[in-house]
Amino acid sequence: MPGAGKSTQGNLLAKKLKVPYLSTGHIFRDIAKEHTQMGRSIKLVMNAGLLISDSKTLQIVSEYLKRREYQKGYILDGFPRTLGQAQKFKNGVDRVIYLKVSDKEILWRLAYRDDGGREDDTLLAIRKRIEVFHKFTDPVIDYYHRKGQLLEINGEHEIDDIQREILKHLKVHGK
Ligand code: ADP
């Protein structure tokens, strides 16, 4: 979910496992800053709280993952986010961590987020992102659950407690 803590936990996990972290949201926010046709269209889609097309997303993620630093593994944040992305993703995933947070808590967190403010954190876009999550990403959670790859973690705890819970379930020991 937007505001569930994906990037916080993703970065912590990447550090712990010593594998690079890759966030599609960050990639798209960078592209949205470019004064190009693609930059402009991605910006419009993001600010409306909608998803970038599966083909564009898959193309960009696959391009990134060809780089040398990702050959020994990676932590992906915010991807796959649709059933189409999950099914067509060639590199694959081992485990999927779902940080579960209620809609109400998400609205609360994002409406009052003070990390500099994101352009897609308007109340309208936040509501849209929550709606889009349920429509497109709930089925992804179900998909990985059925494949036995899903790790569901309660995201309504302290950052450290959530990290400990994730590491416990991934069976990562020591520092
Ligand atoms: P949040 O989870 O708060 O929405 P992200 O940084 O993960 O933040 O994503 C921000 C925006 O980037 C999304 O609303 C969407 O427009 C776009 N985006 C990110 N990941 C994907 C994806 N896998 N597929 C399509 N669009 C994406």
Q: What is the pLDDT along the chain (175 residues), one digit of tens a residue?
A: 999 999 999 999 999 999 999 999 999 999 999 999 999 999 999 999 999 999 999 999 999 999 999 999 999 999 999 999 999 999 989 999 999 999 999 998 988 876 667 888 888 999 999 999 999 999 999 999 999 999 999 999 999 999 999 999 997 654 4
Q: 173: CA distance to ligand 1 center in Å?
A: 31
Domain ranges of the chain: 6-172
Nearest CA to ligand 1 atom 4: 2
Q: 153: CA distance to ligand 1 center in Å?
A: 20
Q: Which distant-in-sequence residues (6+ apart) come within 8 Å of 42 by Cβ?
A: 28, 31, 32, 52
| From 8, 11, 21, 24, mutation site for ligand 1 pocket: most ligand atoms within 8 A of C-beta | 24
pTM over 0.85: yes
Q: What is the CATH number of domain 6-172?
A: 3.40.50.300
Q: 50: CA distance to ligand 1 center in Å?
A: 8
User: Could you check whether the bond before residue 80 is cis, i.e. omega within 30 degrees of 0?
Assistant: yes
**Dihedral pair phi/psi, residue 173, rounded to 5°:** -110, 160
